[in-house]
């Protein structure tokens, strides 16, 4: 298993976890881009949003729900979700992940 986020989901690489259950794990980003910056991943390996199939709809919807709930638990009502697909869009880890950013003004459009 060479995928770093599969290793995180499997507990092989320690991270600062904010939430986990049988389907998803939420943990702080190693290189935070905002006062609150965490990732939510499905335990199931999906290379990115373009790899989602109909059978993953419930799971990826749960990723969004958990992202919002963890943000709320961290005291944030305003936050941004980001999901990158492909290197040109900034994807560096090819296991689907939701970025949740909060705690500073976030510009639009993103750079």
Around Cβ 53, how many Cβ atoms within 10 Å? Answer: 8
- In the list 1, 22, 30, 77, the residue contacting ligand AMP (rule: CB under 6 A) is 30
Q: In what order do the strands lie in the sheet with 98-102?
A: 17-20, 24-28, 36-42, 98-102, 80-82
CB-based contact 17:25 (threshold 8 Å): yes
Q: Say how many residues touch ligand AMP, by CB under 6 A.
A: 13
From the number of C-beta atoms within 10 Å of its C-beta (0-12, 13-18, 19+), residue 79 rates as: buried
Smallest distance, ligand AMP to C-beta of residue 42, A: 14
- Contact pattern for ligand AMP over residues 50 through 89, marking x by CB under 6 A: ----------------------------------x-----
Residue number, 59 or 93, with CB nearest to ligand AMP: 93
Enumerate the active-site residues. 97
Residues within the interface to ligand AMP (CB under 6 A): 4, 13, 15, 27, 29-31, 39, 84, 90-93
């Amino acid at each position: 298993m060479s995928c770093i986020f599969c290793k995180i989901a499997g507990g092989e690489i320690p991270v600062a976890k904010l939430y986990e259950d049988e389907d998803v794990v939420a943990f702080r980003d190693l290189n935070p881009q905002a006062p609150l910056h965490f990732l939510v991943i499905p335990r199931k390996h999906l290379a990115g949003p373009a790899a989602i199939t109909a059978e993953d709809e419930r799971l990826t919807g749960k990723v969004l729900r958990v992202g919002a709930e963890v943000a709320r638990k961290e005291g944030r009502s305003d936050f941004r979700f980001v999901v990158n697909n492909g290197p040109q869009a900034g994807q560096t880890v090819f296991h689907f992940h939701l970025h949740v950013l909060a705690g500073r003004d976030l510009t639009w459009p993103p750079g």
